[in-house]
Amino acid sequence: MSSRGFYGQLRLGQHLDRGSSFWKLRRNGNLAVRVRRLAIPKPSPRSRFQPLPQCRTQPVRRYHHNPYDDPRIRNAKPLFTNAQFKHAIRSPQTKTVVIVAFGSAVIFYFYNLETVPVSGRTRFNCYSAASVREVGEAQAKMVMYELERQGGRLLPDWDPRTRMVKRVMAKLIPFSGMKDEDWEVHVIEDPGTANAFVLPGGKVFVYSGILPLAGNDSGLAAVLGHEIAHNLADHIGERLSASIGVNALMYSLILLSTAVGLGPFIMQIFGGGIMDIAFSRPMGRLQESEADYIGLMMMAEACYDPREAVNFWRRMNAAQQNAPPEWMSTHPSNQTRIEKITEWLPKALEKREQSDCRSTMAFADLFNRARRRGFVIAPEY
């Protein structure tokens, strides 16, 4: 078809409506080429005012991935089954290991037995003095950190309460058997706490709340002599050693009982307070009684009145009306302490009369020598 046909009758650039399209002629050389384009329909007057169609929102689906839905995990086999564990427990190799370990533990236990000179009881203590001193230094740093964290403060050296504690300690240290320790005395401002303790290495901490109960220097000497006695008798090392024995006994029972299916039952019984009531608390009461005796003799040799120890525990008994029963505590009851100290008073008064207050041969030195040789020095205990 020539350019002068139907399309040739239109001028270049003229539009021709054909349904939904329009045609436009262009000159390409000498030929007229028709180009088809999609026409955009013009909105009618009515359509201008019609509302837009509402979009329907689809609900959002949330998928929770559960790793246990993976069939590889559901069908996975345990690395160590109960049957394999029971077989390992009952195997000859395991029995050999148990026998050798038990024999080594028995030898280690008897090798570290020693006699407490004042009470004559035999105890297990595997910690050296250097190890216990390191533990004491770490505990002292922890006490100072907690005091700073809680906003507490130490009384200054010029405070009369601090001067009182240092004055009593200066007279007790020569009779403590630990004159070479690096002694540090700290008095904590806390009227609501009646407590004092001496950590290994000579770190002394006294709460101001115990000073009114002490009353005077002799009463305070009863308190500090008791706390020093714990270090002299190495009760801290004994407690650390006892924790090893108790834990070894408990886990051995659990391991052996697992072979017959009683592991959870044993853990429920012995993992609670029964082990504490049966072992730790009775041992704690024995240690407290020994420290009472040693501290009483120590304060008597330092020329303090041992009768003030009885008065101190009477005041303490009046202040502690809701104390737990003795069998539930790590300390003897106040009444028991008063009765025991009253029995020891004649010996303590004799020590005071014989003392020159200069520690030529103190009771603590005799205690250390008796501990090394393993004999008893207090038959009246």
> DSSP readout, 152-214?
--BPPTTSHHHHHHHHHHHHHGGGTT-TTS--EEEEE--TT---EEEETTTEEEEEGGGHHHH
Answer with the residue of higher pLDDT: 321 or 214: 214
Q: For helices 235-258 and 217-232, give the axis angle rounded to 10 degrees.
A: 50
pLDDT band (50, 70, 90) for residue 264: low
Cite the beta strand spans of 225-334 per DSSP E: none
Alpha-carbon span 24 to 35, nearest angstrom = 6
Give percent of the chain with pLDDT exceeding 70: 68
Mean predicted confidence (pLDDT) in 350-373? 74
Instruction: Read off the amino acid at residue 85.
Output: F
Cα–Cα distance list, 314 to 191, 200, 342 (Å): 19, 29, 12
| Global confidence as pTM | 0.69
Question: How far, in Å, CA of 341 to CA of 310, rounded?
Answer: 7
Element (H, E) at 35: strand 31-38
Q: How confident is the model at residue 71 (pLDDT cuts 50, 70, 90)?
A: confident
Least confident of 5-9, 53-57, 130-134, 352-356: 5-9
CA dihedral 131, 134, 138, 141 (to 10 degrees): 160
Which residues have a catalytic role annotated? 227
pLDDT score, position 3: 44
